[in-house]
Chains A and B, each alone.
Chain A
């Protein structure tokens, strides 16, 4: 299947509904062939941004370019209607037309483009094969399960070789198990289509799984842009640290006198020394660090590492299947540690908590 990949540039995008500002000046680019995800809680402006790119929402100001050509600009005024932007989109509600067959649904974009019927038939069949619905073409679209509708929506979106695919929370209406399956399939499909995509979700795992880059949004502004690894292990501030999985936040006073090897050191009120990385952020006198609950280790014997080893006591143990969550008394407060290993630690045990300084990250405040 041939596709023409296009880049997207969004500059100073503002979208206002009456007195409500949904998006307040957002700037980012998506490279040709890149898979970008907009991640954030509901009401953060991610869907509005996506719809502005699609042309379904008219921005108040800013500029959007697709493949270098402006499709929206407030000055000079340009607003290419959605149907002429050459994009495609998968909707949260799937938006499968109930009065058409599966085949007609998928063929729609090709027929709009007046492709010869022979080509329509071949390409729709190919697309249905690709989403594993080969035999369902003649079925009425109103008689499909949620997962099948999802696949039809996908096939319909890419069959006419759009330059960009937009996804608006496409998996949020599926149950957890199906969602996990579709996530893998979607990633596989993205690779085979080799297409530029922008994906909107509030689901962290989804974002981490299928993106080249993630943009975390809140209240209409961008909080952080980075690869899934960066977003997860080097959150920029408390919002990202909190929204993207669970993290322990540790506050302390800067101990510049102890700093070596490019590490930042803080001392907590209880006296514990924590070594971490600045990851390009300027450290002040007071500092806040984040460490993911899964990056902490618990051991009975003191580990051999030089720094970030502290004595602690297990207060509570919660078995959660995939992992066990420990609430640990440390430095006059509670740390949360998640361990995937089957393990003999019991409530009341004296242990050592340790953390690799690479995972203790200085936050902006």
Chain B
């Protein structure tokens, strides 16, 4: 219901050809879709950026995946943990940081270039390449997780057999490893490509200055301009959604059919290949990725936040705390951060019981149609959050209870768009708990409530806490849905950062981003503290 309602309205709006402001639509037709021809270049841009970023991300993911799961690079275990970091940096942070580093005029790199006597600029981030670069750094860690998992599940005996038969390591890698993991890599590529098509923040921050639009930013523009052109935006959204849905479908096909015999139930010892002296260059590659994707952006933003005017050469009189003072004294910022934290709390606290109940329904109750419910609930996964929010905007505008422009609408939006995330986290934990643990309590005579209290809940606790924090973090940093749905009196922090980027100073924006990150880090610290206590408690 929560899921289908906005989608239905999205489709309705896309077919409306009468007065754009009339609700319900006066006439239906395909004019909005045929009219999309004018925007062909935007679809071209989207495809270009997504394709570039996918290629880059898959290269990153494959290289890192192979090095970290199949070779003896020093510090593999630590690196594998660290590879999650780019994901926490978020594309928005990355885009802001890279804009500071490499924008044609004020970018740090170009300042240095000119200081060294160069003409014009060395690099320009406000291009399709720049957008793809930032997105690829972010999605690289997603590709890594997916491809790494496939590589780990491959029986090393297959590689060993090749080596025993006299093939060199490189030949083994090219002739055995690569073909075996190819379906997994393809799956990751399709998945990443679909995500890129719907991505929003990097394209917004880096594309807008040069009026370079992708579908999501064009939709945003169409909706926020005056007069808003909802039907056209809706038609774009539906088209994008259709493409992504096809991609997700292809992804599922690849995952379910094309994996050869790579994943066998047979137990094998994970064994890694000795790459000898190449270990150190490999280590360098891994470290370089993390540096570019995590350390550099975080440092840049932090540095900029303490500057009057960001300059490549640090000068004592340029350092200041004024940005933090301003950020904290601006009512809008304080209120937005407060709103975000409240929303995060509410989303996580309502989301965990709700999604817990839904997971239980899907995986434990043996309700007829549980599979269908699962499919429906995972639906928001296939829809870019901005497109989804657009559907919700359209849907809730005419809702009899006036929740448009309030935090309530955002809460509903968050609960809907994060359904797949929460469900996957919680159901992962539920599936790990063997059904017989509950059944044995039942055989001891415990009633449903007693079982839930003494067995099910204590076992689920660590997973539920993790899910709570994930939802909290995701909500506080949400952009795509929030930017469309927040009202002037109910701002949240991430869209406020973007607004400040376009309207106020860069340095102030950096300070806001740092503040937001600190809030998220505080939540993460809490996660680890609680998780450790839970582990110790369980281990006693």
Contacts and interface: CB of A to CB of B under 8 A. Distances in A.
Given A91-B436, A97-B437, A99-B458, A142 B538 contact: yes
A140 interface: yes
Given A54-B443, A83-B446, A108-B446, 5 more contacts: A93-B436, A97-B437, A97-B440, A99-B459, A112-B444
Most chain A CB inside 10 Å of its own CB: which residue of B436, B441, B444, B458? B444
Nearest to B538: A99
Contacts of B440: 89, 91, 95, 97, 153, 156
Interface residues of B, number: 20
A108 B442 contact: no
Interface string B436-476: 11011111111100100011001100000000000000000
B444 A156 contact: yes
B540 interface: yes
B436 A92 contact: yes
B459 A95 contact: no
28 contacts: A56-B442, A56-B443, A82-B443, A83-B442, A83-B446, A83-B447, A84-B445, A89-B440, A91-B436, A91-B439, A91-B440, A92-B436, A93-B436, A95-B434, A95-B439, A95-B440, A97-B441, A98-B538, A99-B458, A108-B454, A109-B444, A112-B446, A140-B539, A142-B539, A153-B440, A156-B440, A160-B445, A166-B443
A113 interface: yes
Contact of A56 (B439, B445, B458, B539): B439
Interface of B: 434, 436-437, 439-447, 450, 454-455, 458-459, 538-540
A247 to B, nearest CB: 32
Contacts of B540: 140
Contacts of A109: 444-445
Interface SS of chain A = mixed
Contacts of B445: 83-84, 86, 109, 112-113, 160
Contacts of B444: 83, 88, 108-109, 112, 156, 160
In the complex, the 5 A-B pairs of residues with the closest C-beta atoms, listed nearest first: A109-B444, A95-B440, A95-B436, A89-B443, A91-B436
Interface residues of A, number: 29
A113 B447 CA distance: 11
Contacts of A55: 442
Contacts of B538: 98-99, 142
A88 B443 contact: yes
A157 interface: yes
A87 interface: yes
B453 to A, nearest CB: 11
Nearest to B461: A99
Nearest to A109: B444
Contacts of B447: 83
B167 to A, nearest CB: 39
A108 B441 contact: yes
Nearest to A54: B443
A135 B437 CA distance: 24
B442 A82 contact: yes
A157 B437 CA distance: 13
Contacts of A92: 436
Contacts of A56: 439, 442-443
A156 B442 CA distance: 12
A99 B441 CA distance: 13
A140 B434 CA distance: 18
A95 B446 contact: no
Interface in A110-162: 112-113, 140, 142, 153, 156-157, 160
Contacts of A140: 539-540
B434 A93 contact: yes
A168 to B, nearest CB: 8
Nearest to B457: A99
Interface string A53-88: 011100000000000000000000000011110111
A98 B462 CA distance: 13
B227 to A, nearest CB: 54
B360 to A, nearest CB: 17
A153 B441 CA distance: 11
Contacts of B443: 54, 56, 82-83, 87-89, 157, 166
Nearest to B440: A95
A97 B446 CA distance: 14
Nearest to A84: B445
Contacts of A153: 440
A216 B336 CA distance: 70
A140 B540 CA distance: 6
B450 A112 contact: yes
B84 to A, nearest CB: 26
